Amino acid sequence: MIALYLKILCLAINLILLGFVDKLFKNNTIFWKIFFCILGIVLPIIFFVY
């Protein structure tokens, strides 16, 4: 259940942020996808723990 939530959140963050990130950083698209995906996984864990 949590894994599914994290996947959906990761996808949502990618869809929202990559819209303008692609325009800002054309060359580092793959880096930013990985970065925001990791961010989307780490942030909910921090919120759940604290």
> pLDDT, tens digit, for every residue of 18-47?
666 666 666 666 777 777 778 878 887 777
Number of Cα atoms under 13 Å in the Cβ half of residue 1:
0
The domain containing residue 19 runs over which residues?
Answer: 2-49
Q: State the pLDDT confidence band at 5, using cuts at 50, 70 and 90.
A: confident
DSSP string over 9-48? HHHHHHHHHHHHHHHH-STTHHHHHHHHHHHHHHHHHHHH
Q: What is the pLDDT of residue 37?
A: 75
Q: How many domains would you assign to the chain?
A: 1
pLDDT of residue 2: 75
